[in-house]
Amino acid sequence: MSATPPATPHGIVAKKSWLEATKAYLDRRAIIMLFLGFAAGIPILLIFSSLSLWLREAGIERGVVTTFSWAALGYSFKFIWAPLIDAVPLPILTKWLGRRRAWMLVSQIMIIAAICIMASVNPINDDMLTYMAIGAVLLGFSSATQDIVIDAYRIELAPPSLQSVLSAMYTAGYRLGMIFAGAGALYLADYFGSTEALYSYEAWRNTYWIMAAVMGVGVITTLVIKEPISKQVRLEQKPSNYGRLVFVFLLAVSAFVMTFIYVGEALPESESIAVAFFYEVVRMLSSIGSALLVGYLLVMAGLVNKQMAYVTWIEPIVDFFRRYGKKALLLLALIGLYRISDIVAGVMSNVFYQDMGFSKTDIATAVKLVGVIMVIGGGFLGGILAQKIRMMQAMMIGAILAAVSNMLFVVLTYHPGSLPVMYTAVIFDNLAAGLASAVFIAFLSALTSIRFTAVQYAIFSSLMTLLPKVLGGYSGTIVDNLGYPFFFTFTALIGVPILLIIYLVDKHIVIGDNDDIYGDNDGNGGTDKLTKANPALTDTQEPPRASE
């Protein structure tokens, strides 16, 4: 394994020439992430924008349409079941494919099933919306599970010095998948005969069936790639102990769902956006508290091995705070707020373009084709920047561009139907989003301990989307009450405090280079090392393994 460039006091810097930084994209591991990113990019728009247009054409109110974005909250809570993916082997499949690939395959099969469920429902019938919601929630859960495994696979596949390249290739594949699920879905729906004036359920059904078939690319990729070498903590347990762990998780989830339902029924309705948002926060926190309480009581009652539960759910969190101390809170604030501007604005994107007088073909060409190409270009640029300059400098550039780009949509509201203004906004916005996403993924990967790959990265990525998606669920209501100019100005302004947080992190926190803890997964041989640049990750502090 080649020598790793030293870390600077404020982040990982791989000082490479522009040619070396560009050549890294031809690495075999980068190509793998391109295909896995494609598989990860297909489901998301089938919950967000494509589904939004389907529901709007079916005559569903805008406020109801945007609440369907909450079906993707599984992405924000995936840290809850990520420990199970690290801890629980799948019968037969794990021995055949390996831990990562086994879970990857199962999640992809679940995604295909969820898409087929949604295709079988005609939302024009109000009594069928519940079944559409069930399919959307299942799709969000299974897609989030696939993301957990792919993220863990990527981090275990290569050291931090290559993570910016892998994240850029992942982003490129992800956006190509979004082309199929975004522009492809719109083109197909038009081709099969569904328009805003003349809704056709059969057109959207056929479209979603094709999307399910396209997911076969992910299945094939999973079957042909190799399991990465991993030095992660593994819990060797009896099958009954794994079953108990899953059972406790299911009971805790049931407590969450029941509390969410009953608290929602108990809280009064409010026309005030601020009050309604507060009620939803209370509802969410109550549900989380209920799930945690049930899980804690079941563990204390001995339903599952206490040490096993500790290593599975608690130790990954303790490890993070052990490494960063009180400064971990600053890091968590940065993680939770960094992408808020573009995620909140993105919930309304397709509905916004439609309200501005653009056809589905206009949207598909500009947003889902040209825009995605710009995201990919921004991702490659972000990957190169992360190798050439300090990580936090690249993060600052991404945050500034993400906030400023939203103001271009304010300009578009004063030029409805103008394709030049639309293309300007789309190109700049997506270039900024691609750059910010690539450097942020590399940043999260650098924070993740190789001993708790799936769990810690799932916590980080869940926190990244939690607040933006909850707030995004109210985007339709905000637009209805205050208009598009206010909405996009608001999404730009909420990105400004991020700049201060980035500055503070860059000034006060050292993000060490943990290359040495990664196995040599490039296929060229080499020795896996457990020596670590960060003293908090030494072998002497390895979490205790649960006994049988």
Last residue of a domain, one of 273, 304, 335: 304
Last residue of a domain, one of 253, 280, 304: 304
Closest of 513, 472, 536, 509 to residue 65, by C-alpha: 472
pLDDT band at 109 (very low <50, low <70, confident <90, very high): very high
**What single string gives the DSSP state of each residue in 180-246?**
HHTHHHHHHHHHTT--SSS--HHHHHHHHHHHHHHTHHHHHHHHHSPPPP---------HHHHHHHH
The mean per-residue pLDDT over the stretch 202-231 comes to: 91
The more confidently predicted of residues 18 and 250 is: 250
Asked whether residue 514 carries a pLDDT value surpassing 70, the answer given is: no
Assess whether 364 and 450 both reside in one domain: yes
Asked whether residue 140 carries a pLDDT value surpassing 70, the answer given is: yes
What pLDDT is recorded for position 14? 45
In the numeric block, the tokens 């607040």 are attached to 467
Domain-located, residue 7:
no
What pLDDT is recorded for position 196? 74
Q: What's phi and psi for 8, nearest 5 deg? A: -85, 170
Domain-located, residue 363:
yes
Report d(CA 518, CA 541) in Å as an integer: 17
What pLDDT is recorded for position 17? 63
Assess whether 461 and 525 both reside in one domain: yes
pLDDT band at 6 (very low <50, low <70, confident <90, very high): very low
Assess whether 228 and 242 both reside in one domain: no
What pLDDT is recorded for position 12? 43
Tell me how many domains the chain contains: 2
Assess whether 268 and 320 both reside in one domain: no
The mean per-residue pLDDT over the stretch 281-299 comes to: 87
The mean per-residue pLDDT over the stretch 173-195 comes to: 86
Assess whether 299 and 358 both reside in one domain: no
Assess whether 331 and 350 both reside in one domain: yes
Asked whether residue 193 carries a pLDDT value surpassing 90, the answer given is: no
Last residue of a domain, one of 304, 331, 361: 304
Q: What is the pLDDT of residues 153-163, one digit of tens each?
A: 998 888 777 88
Checking phi first, is residue 193 left (phi over 0); if not, alpha (psi -120 to 50) or beta?
A: left
Decide: helix, strand or coil at residue 508.
helix
Host domain of residue 242 = 238-304
Domain-located, residue 387:
yes
What pLDDT is recorded for position 15? 56
| Contact (CB, 8 A) for 120 and 205 | yes
Q: What is the pLDDT of residues 327-355, one digit of tens each?
A: 889 999 998 888 888 888 777 777 788 88
What pLDDT is recorded for position 437? 85
The mean per-residue pLDDT over the stretch 110-137 comes to: 89
Assess whether 153 and 242 both reside in one domain: no
Residues in the chain: 548
What pLDDT is recorded for position 515? 42
CATH number of the domain bearing residue 190:
1.20.1250.20
Report d(CA 115, CA 140) in Å as an integer: 10
Assess whether 313 and 429 both reside in one domain: yes
